[in-house]
Chains A and B, each alone.
Chain A
């Protein structure tokens, strides 16, 4: 099973600050890495697919990068509405797995 380890687990950030979330895979997964945002009491929402492909409707301040085993989700100039838990997910190998999540709080 491919283990995805996110860091940090929690981040408290002031508005307009840059946020970087790292997701490390225990094996090479190419670019089969996707990022989701889950706000409190809501369903997760796909934000970045295949490591770096943005989705329609996702603010341009969100970007993804990486391949192989190391991936990054970057939020440039954090806004209050970005408070959420962010999960990475790999679809390369079975079983499909998720990272443990990174909670981003607004100071």
Chain B
């Protein structure tokens, strides 16, 4: 069964940092590009970042550029999102998704940024 499981969310003060992880199973992780997509409470979906299969190509939404870093470890079948300089508006459920069409989603991990 194809599965993505996010972890690492939590409560953090503005300016703080968190590192999200996404553990992939049930498919050949290195064959797929990956994304992070977030959803603020009661709001719609927002694409955050993309990483290619090898990790050589990376893109970010303007709202997180310079603060967030996406990475992957194909040997560990894992995707990561390092989030620094967090702001109130980064509060959201963060999903990892597979492939350009987001054909598989994790259950999400909640990040709350508040003083």
Taking beta carbons and an 8 Å cutoff, which residues of A are in contact with B?
A: 34, 36, 38, 43-46, 49-50, 55, 87, 89, 91, 94-101
Bound Cα distance A100, B46 (Å) = 10
User: Total interface residues on B, using CB and 8 Å?
Assistant: 19
Which residue of B50, B59, B102, B106 is within 8 Å of A89 (Cβ)? B102
Q: How far is the CB of A2 from chain B (nearest CB, A)?
A: 11
The closest CB in chain A to the CB of B35 belongs to: A96
List the B side residues contacting A46 at CB < 8 Å.
Answer: 101-105
Pull 6 A–B residue pairs with CB atoms less than 8 Å apart, ordered by A: A43-B108, A50-B101, A55-B103, A91-B101, A97-B47, A99-B44
List the B side residues contacting A94 at CB < 8 Å.
Answer: 59
List the B side residues contacting A89 at CB < 8 Å.
Answer: 45, 47, 102
Q: How far is the CB of A1 from chain B (nearest CB, A)?
A: 8
Q: How far is the CB of A73 from chain B (nearest CB, A)?
A: 15
Taking beta carbons and an 8 Å cutoff, which residues of B are in contact with A?
A: 35, 44-47, 50, 59, 61-62, 95, 100-108
List the B side residues contacting A99 at CB < 8 Å.
Answer: 44
Q: How far is the CB of A22 from chain B (nearest CB, A)?
A: 16
Contact A87 B103 (CB under 8 A): no
Known: A36-B102, A46-B103, A87-B44. 10 other contacts (CB 8 A): A34-B101, A43-B95, A43-B107, A43-B108, A44-B95, A89-B47, A95-B59, A95-B61, A98-B44, A98-B46
List the B side residues contacting A101 at CB < 8 Å.
Answer: 44-45
Q: How far is the CB of A84 from chain B (nearest CB, A)?
A: 13
List the B side residues contacting A44 at CB < 8 Å.
Answer: 45, 95, 102, 105
